[in-house]
């Protein structure tokens, strides 16, 4: 993950504290990326041991969240940050909540993948799910990279990808329903697949949230519940005004 100098965004006296916390966030994000990758591999390759390992290791994500949250609380109590400094801390606290929830979704995928490993894999070997998993993995990676570099433009580009994730999710859901209607013997597996793609779609949502926090850190603008087109227009106008 590329590092950046935060000195342009935060007061010098907070630099060391926030750099340390930010590195912890990126380490947590990197671990969640690994969990996601392993969960998808466990499904596609029918590896029950790997699926179980993903589910079992979720406690590490939880521990990282608690540790970073405590560090942020200490900074708030001892530094009393204001303005841009406070925005960074708030964004970090929100980001680790989303990363923890990503970890929960990876745990679900790992558990289901472990169960499906005992069944014969379908002829397509979960091709569509594998592709969706790759799209979501790229989205998570790019969201964390935008967070590391405090790159609002990159964050906005990543956020746009959530629409693609939603479209692929809905497509796989419709396909699964068709399979169940055509052959009742596929119902159990199709339902499991629907739960997995739902988890992947939720991970995409959390990655989008992290992108929103990047824009909040950089521009001081809360873009939750605002259409991306409107966000692009507002930020573009702000850049022109500058």
| Structural domain contains residue 184 | yes
The 3-state DSSP class for residue 143 equals: helix
Q: Which domain holds residue 98?
A: 10-235
For residue range 142-194, list pLDDT tens digits in order: 999 999 999 999 999 999 999 999 999 999 999 999 989 999 988 999 999 99
Residue 240 has pLDDT above 50, yes or no: no
CATH code: domain of residue 224? 1.20.58.220
pLDDT for 41: 96
Q: What is the mean pLDDT of residues 189-218?
A: 95
How do residues 45-103 score in pLDDT, each as one tens digit? 999 999 999 999 999 999 999 999 999 999 888 877 777 788 889 999 999 999 999 99
In terms of C-beta density within 10 A (0-12 exposed, 13-18 middle, 19 or more buried), how is residue 55 classed? Answer: buried
> Per this entry, what is the length of the chain?
242
The predicted pLDDT at position 122 comes to 80
- In a domain, residue 83? The reply is yes
Percent of the chain with pLDDT over 90: 70
- Name the average pLDDT for the chain: 88
d(CA 197, CA 54): 17
pLDDT at 216 > cutoff 70: yes
Would you say residue 3 lies in a domain?
A: no
Answer yes or no: is pLDDT of 105 > 50.
yes
6 has a pLDDT exceeding 70 = no
Say how many domains are in the chain.
Answer: 1
In a domain, 241, yes or no: no
Residue 242 is assigned to a structural domain of this protein: no
> 36 lies in a domain?
yes
Report if residue 2 sits inside a domain: no
Average pLDDT over residues 207-226: 85
Three-state DSSP at 224 gives: coil
Confidence of residue 242 (pLDDT cuts 50, 70, 90): very low
User: Closest Cα to residue 89, out of 19, 1, 7, 3?
Assistant: 19
What is the structure's pLDDT at 79? 79
Does 106 map to a domain?
yes
């Amino acid at each position: 993950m590329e590092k950046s100098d935060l000195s342009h965004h935060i007061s010098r006296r907070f630099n060391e504290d926030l750099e340390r916390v930010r590195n912890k966030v990126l380490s947590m994000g990197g671990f969640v990326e690994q969990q996601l990758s392993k969960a998808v591999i466990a499904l596609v390759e029918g590896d029950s041991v790997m699926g179980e390992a993903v589910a079992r290791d979720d406690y590490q994500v939880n521990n990282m969240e608690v540790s970073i949250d405590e560090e942020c609380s200490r900074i708030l109590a001892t530094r009393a940050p204001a303005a841009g400094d406070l925005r960074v801390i708030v964004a970090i606290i929100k980001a680790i909540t989303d990363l923890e929830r990503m970890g929960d979704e990876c745990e679900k995928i790992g558990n289901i993948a472990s169960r499906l490993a005992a069944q014969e894999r379908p002829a397509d070997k979960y091709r569509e799910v594998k592709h969706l998993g790759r799209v979501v993995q790229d989205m998570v990676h790019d969201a964390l990279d935008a967070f590391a570099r405090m790159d609002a433009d990159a964050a906005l580009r990543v956020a746009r990808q959530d629409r693609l994730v939603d479209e692929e999710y809905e497509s796989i859901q419709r396909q699964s329903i068709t399979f169940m209607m055509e052959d009742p013997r596929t119902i159990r597996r199709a339902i499991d697949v629907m739960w997995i793609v739902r988890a992947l779609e939720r991970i995409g949502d959390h990655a989008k949230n992290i992108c929103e926090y990047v824009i909040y850190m950089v521009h001081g603008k809360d873009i939750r519940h605002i259409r991306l087109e409107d966000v692009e227009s507002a930020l573009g106008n702000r850049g022109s005004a500058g």
